A and B are shown apart, each in its own frame.
Chain A
């Protein structure tokens, strides 16, 4: 087996580029099979590993992954971006929320192969350089977290929500932030985060 955990976070330098090419050379390059479906020619990837390339938090990441691998597992297992969590694994709880094209998605139900060539934003980018994003500071101040396992997903959901609705109504808050679940019971703090960030009364 080839090394499945080769991490190639950047394809910018020549050295990195050669390294990536080297890996590719050790695995027989799979040329997508082309089949005809509904009268159109469609390339089929897999079932073995195929080269994939991502733009995550503004940086290029490359990996050899099977087409069945989810974006969440690619982020966590291949690129060690472990902020997004796998909790329900079927788009019910929001702990894996990341932004794809600036829209929040459940990374557990997006295939990695489909997330290529689109900007991906994860929780790690929000405090790049060590300084917390104001939303994150508000999570700390209002104690919108206990065990913290749902927190990265909630922070991303709040950010996407506030970007879209800078001055939300109470009903908008209740509706749009109901896609993330917390077990410790931190919703009161999270509502206060949104209230503070939007200058509204909250839900």
Chain B
């Protein structure tokens, strides 16, 4: 039996080295196909009529004119008359036509009438006392929100027992929750919760104050504090802005078999969702995806428009129908990151030891409110009191956005701590380092990372007390932040087959988001089998292959690398058993290295890989490696530190980043080159949300004002400074096994850049993005305060 572990560093031939992505040539040449590129003969084009109001009730729908139009092949009402619509851009009617212009004409020919209802899009600070009334029965949204936002189990159970639920608890729902790993205690409480059907249609107040959470003795903590800093911090709602918009192409090869090309982060998870909505067995749904043009947490579901696309295809006799969101729809409805703001009070001893934290936070995740960000972030401050108020708004629904809740928590915590360091007259590097003993289980990693980051940034030379005193309007400063993330590999199966002719193929129902998943699988298999990566044929992105988890939460690399490693070792076990007699050795004495199968102690006793595989006879070896499985191949919990160097023009309010440094741990690294790429990409995405990105809604109409890529601004090449990435590859990191990397490096840029701006101009700009108007307003306030 194989021992399931990673090869020792010196024995690795591919793992941990630098490889270009294997699908790079296909992407660079434009040959790589996305769901949006699926273009079969006879393709019909979908379009969706969307609600122009932030809050309305559909009163009537007349599709007759559209149905009569030549070239229109199907019309599908998505949300029928009587439905309450909670955000602008929600789907009302979908059509399919022979070409896109005809589909657009058909949409224009549809008459929908609405009763416009009052909307609330403001996530400004709730008025005192808001949301303190009894919360009433839990809605499904409330429950989702509580479960996905670290609300303590006991709190959820007591709420269910006391307030009951406003929805019927079904077996399917219970099954789904179990699938997500919701504990039995919560599920039992849910099943036993009193059902209040009358509450389902009640208008809910916009504010919901959650129970205060207390640790230690906050009052005593603050009375022992010698320096206390108070401030307000936060991050606005932003969108995912995937370049390939959400959408799919659907066709029915027979009346009860659906085939979809869907832009998704979770291929294996799609059939169940389609099956439920369309009332067909999940086994009759095939989903396929070669490449996806970005997801960032927003693409796990077929969504209303995807189900409608499948329905349109069915109505059109099974012909393929493709519908991808238009750019404005993508920004309005394709997902947004919840806002989070907080009034924070934090206290320390004169020597810098942090002793107490108090925060009142709020934020919106759209119609479902939003959970509390995990504050104070990273630091386990001994005495703390915190309370969160969820704000329900008619902004579009929130979706997981790369490292859900962490970037907001980092801004709130790391900026509050930076302000405290300023009040203590301490260099933040010294202050943060001093408090690492309460930085949780990753403290030893941060202790290694801070000096490396400081060295790469030139922190000692660049840091100065708050407020650049040099002449001229442009001020320069530096700031830092730190972050953590879980990233344990998800469940998944890897099927690996060694054929008697020496060829090897691997099948997994996973997906490559551009993170390098394909490349990582081939590196692990090639290293394990002792053959080159290009000798292995890899198949992913289809429900015909063994299931693999969705690519979210930095769980893919741990999932696929461990299942592939196990599959490779299992297959070698079987191969060695067949080959051993020929080499006059025991199977346990063999190894697969350098394209041979050989005796470990005597390399002259060897067969080429091809000769060895020929010993299999007629039948191939086919095995399925699983995660979780035997051996400790993966782990959870990483630490990272980032520093930013910025210039701020105090006359225009424009912030320019001069340099960023990221020092990041992610356990054992499979591909150093693409691991670094993840960090570079995260820094760039971070600069983008720190300085430019914001979903702006008009308070009067409730509509999004910037649903395009001109005014919903992404960072461009011109905005990107010198970037330095240092991956931690010490035994301390490597010994822990593989841990995910997608989320962590995107957490800190907002906080690090905000702190650098404060260091440059001498005043805190409370909220990100740090737009010129916010920078100038902060400077003006500072001037007034000084005058």
* Interface residues in chain A, defined as those with a beta carbon under 8 Å from any beta carbon in chain B: 1, 4-5, 66, 68-69, 73, 76-77, 80, 82-90, 92-93, 95, 122-124, 126-127, 132, 136-137, 139-141, 143-152, 155, 173-175, 177-191, 203
Contact = CB atoms under 8 A, between A and B. Distances in A.
B47 to A, nearest CB: 13
Interface string B663-682: 00000000001100100111
Interface stretch (B559-567, B621-629, B707-715): B707-715
B41 to A, nearest CB: 6
Interface stretch (B21-29, B147-155, B630-638, B731-739): B21-29
A85 B243 contact: yes
B30 A188 contact: no
Interface residues of B, number: 62
Nearest to B19: A143
A188 B720 contact: yes
A132 B294 contact: no
B308 interface: no
A177 B717 CA distance: 7
A61 B93 CA distance: 35
A179 B294 CA distance: 19
Contacts, number: 191
B708 A143 contact: no
Given A77-B39, A149-B244, A66 B101 contact: yes
A82 B292 CA distance: 14
Given A92-B709, A145-B24, A181-B714, 6 more contacts: A66-B101, A69-B101, A140-B21, A143-B20, A145-B27, A190-B717
A123 B717 contact: no
A147 B513 CA distance: 6
Contacts of B723: 188
Interface string B28-50: 11111110110101110100000
14 contacts: A1-B71, A4-B98, A83-B31, A85-B293, A90-B327, A93-B709, A124-B29, A127-B25, A127-B30, A147-B514, A148-B28, A149-B293, A155-B28, A186-B680
A141 B30 contact: no
A181 B43 contact: no
A130 B101 CA distance: 34
A186 B677 CA distance: 8
Contact of A85 (B36, B101, B715): B36
Q: Which 6 A-B pairs have the closest CB atoms?
A: A83-B30, A185-B684, A149-B293, A148-B27, A185-B681, A147-B514
B28 A187 contact: no
Which of B31, B99, B242 is packed against the most chain A CB atoms within 10 Å? B99
Nearest to B328: A89
A184 B30 contact: no
A196 B685 CA distance: 24
Given A147-B293, A175-B718, A85 B28 contact: no
Interface in B690-738: 708-710, 714-718, 720, 723
Interface in B605-642: none
Contacts of B714: 181-183
Nearest to A191: B717
A77 B100 contact: yes
A87 B28 contact: no
Contacts of B715: 185, 187
B236 to A, nearest CB: 18
Interface of B: 20-21, 23-34, 36-37, 39, 41-43, 45, 70-71, 98-101, 241-245, 291-294, 296, 326-327, 513-515, 673-674, 677, 680-685, 688, 708-710, 714-718, 720, 723
Contact of B515 (A84, A146, A152, A180): A146
Contacts of A127: 25, 29-31
A140 B71 CA distance: 43
A152 to B, nearest CB: 4
B205 to A, nearest CB: 36
A140 B25 contact: yes
B29 A146 contact: no
Contacts of B708: 88, 90, 92
Main secondary structure of the interface of A (DSSP, over half): loop
Contact of A185 (B21, B24, B685): B685
A126 B681 contact: no
Main secondary structure of the interface of B (DSSP, over half): loop
A189 B676 CA distance: 11
Contact of A80 (B39, B716, B718): B39
A189 B677 CA distance: 9
A73 B29 CA distance: 19
B709 A88 contact: yes
Contacts of B25: 127, 132, 136, 140
A78 B242 CA distance: 25
B685 A147 contact: no
Nearest to A79: B39
A88 B327 contact: yes
Contacts of B27: 139, 145, 148, 151
Nearest to A6: B41
Nearest to B21: A143
Contacts of B682: 185
A68 B198 CA distance: 52
Contacts of A4: 71, 98-99
B677 A89 contact: no
Contacts of A191: 717, 720
B241 A183 contact: yes
Contacts of A126: 29-30
B98 A189 contact: no
Given A77-B100, A95-B243, A178 B21 contact: no
Contacts of A88: 327, 708-710
A57 B392 CA distance: 53
A148 B720 contact: no
A155 B688 CA distance: 22
B685 A68 contact: no
A22 B685 CA distance: 52
Contact of A143 (B32, B677, B683, B716): B677
B684 A187 contact: yes
B101 A188 contact: no
A87 B216 CA distance: 51
Given A89-B327, A90-B708, A136-B28, A183 B243 contact: yes
Nearest to A173: B717
Contact of A149 (B24, B26, B243, B685): B243
A86 B23 CA distance: 21
A188 B684 contact: yes
A122 B30 CA distance: 9
A177 B291 CA distance: 25
A76 B34 CA distance: 12
A187 to B, nearest CB: 4
